[in-house]
Amino acid sequence: MSKLELLNQKYGLEGKLVFRQREDGFIYADVTAPDAKAQIFLYGAHLVSFTPQGEEEVLWLSAISDFAP
């Protein structure tokens, strides 16, 4: 079982918390709540996206950021 599958099996909450992996291998938590949604990288616990419900994204990681271990 992959690390991603294990995280989703052990900690995932349907419709609320799903772990996903980017093409570069970084795993992030995709969090959905009634008032907002967010993406948080497990590496360094970086909050890379925050969007209040019904609003534009207010916090994001720039596409030109050099995010690497």
Q: What is the pLDDT of residues 8-45, one digit of tens each?
A: 999 999 999 999 998 888 999 999 999 999 999 998 88
- Residue 47, Cβ neighbours under 10 Å: how many? 15
Q: Is residue 69 pLDDT above 80, yes or no?
A: no
- Residue 24, Cβ neighbours under 10 Å: how many? 8
Cα–Cα distance measured from residue 24 to residue 22, given in angstroms and rounded to the nearest whole number: 5
Of 12 and 65, the structure prediction assigns the larger pLDDT to: 12
* Token pair for 54: 């019904």
Coil, helix or strand at residue 5:
helix
